[in-house]
């Protein structure tokens, strides 16, 4: 099936081991030759997206939320957090979007044309594709937890 083949090619192209020698300037972890951001075995680590597309933070989810209810996420509580329950959804222990399964499940709703476009994207283009969403998210997070508290969903 063409879509399955495209998904497999996207995953293969964006594995840490497939990328790191070619794009040394893209990520400090590439220069170190080790995907330090999560504890996944190096050969299993997929760098498709640094930013999780499943994170929700909007008027309906003012404390953040995971749209797929990953068991690796958790609530982070702090009295300084400006939300009703003084908490925000914390993804720092979740590696789902760096696994083959996570990327596959994210891509399976894409059309064949979309998958073809994604396959042709460089790491920079992939990052830019999600960057605007990330900027919006950062803006909202700043309002909830303050600029000096470092959360990384
Ligand atoms: S990083 Fe994990 S817990 Fe956080 S939104 Fe994404 S899938 Fe859910």
In angstroms, how far is CA 22 from the centroid of its own chain?
21
By most ligand atoms within 8 Å of CB, the mutation choice from 37, 40, 51, 55 for ligand 1 is 55
Distance from the alpha carbon of residue 53 to the mean position of ligand 1, in angstroms: 8
**pLDDT tens digits along 23-59:** 999 999 999 999 988 889 999 999 998 888 898 888 8
Q: Is the CB of 91 under 6 A from ligand 1?
A: yes
Q: Could you tell me the distance, in angstroms and rounded to a whole number, from the CA of residue 22 to the centre of ligand 1?
A: 28
For ligand 1, the distance from its centroid to the CA atom of residue 35, given in whole angstroms, is 18
Please give the pLDDT value at position 145.
63
Residue 137's pLDDT is 65
**CA 97, CA 120: separation in Å to the nearest integer?**
20
What pLDDT is stored for residue 146 in this prediction? Answer: 60
Distance CA 147, CA 32 (A): 29
Nearest Cα to Cα of residue 18 among 39, 52, 48, 51: 48
Where the chain has pLDDT below 70, the residues are 130-141, 143-153
Give the pLDDT of residue 131. Answer: 61
Cβ(90)–Cβ(74) below 8 Å: yes
Please say whether the beta carbons of 97 and 103 come within 8 A. Answer: yes
pLDDT at 152: 46
| SS3 of the chain | CHHHHHHHHHHHHCEHHHHCCCCCCCCHHHHHCCCCCCCCCHHHCECCCCCCCCEEEECCEEEEEECCCCCCCEEEECCCCCCCCCEEEECCCCCHHHCHHHHHHHHCCCCHHHHHHHHHCCHHHHHHHHHHHHHHHHHHHHHHHCCCCCCCC
Backbone angles phi, psi at 48, to 5 degrees: -55, -45
Decide whether any atom of ligand 1 lies within 6 Å of the 123 Cβ.
no
Give residue 75 CA to ligand 1 midpoint distance, Å.
12
Locate the domains of the chain by residue range.
2-145
pLDDT of 148: 47
CB of 66 sitting under 6 A from ligand 1: yes
**Gap from CA of 29 to ligand 1 centroid (Å):** 21
- Give pLDDT, residue 136: 61
Q: Is the Cβ atom of 81 under 6 angstroms away from ligand 1?
A: no
Which pLDDT does position 153 carry in this prediction?
46
């Amino acid at each position: 099936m063409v879509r399955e083949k495209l998904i497999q090619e996207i995953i293969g192209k964006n594995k840490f081991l497939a990328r790191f020698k070619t794009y040394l300037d893209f990520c400090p972890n590439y220069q170190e030759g080790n995907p330090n951001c999560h504890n996944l075995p190096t050969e299993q680590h997929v760098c498709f997206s640094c930013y999780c597309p499943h994170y929700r933070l909007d008027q309906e989810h003012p404390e953040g939320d995971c749209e797929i209810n990953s068991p690796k996420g958790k609530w982070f509580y702090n009295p300084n957090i400006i939300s009703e329950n003084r908490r925000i959804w914390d993804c720092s222990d979740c590696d789902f979007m760096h696994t083959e399964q996570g990327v596959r499940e994210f891509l399976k709703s894409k059309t064949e044309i979309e998958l073809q476009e994604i396959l042709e994207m460089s790491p920079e283009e992939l990052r830019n594709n999600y960057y605007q969403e990330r900027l919006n998210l950062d803006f909202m997070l700043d309002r909830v937890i303050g600029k000096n508290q470092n959360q990384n969903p």
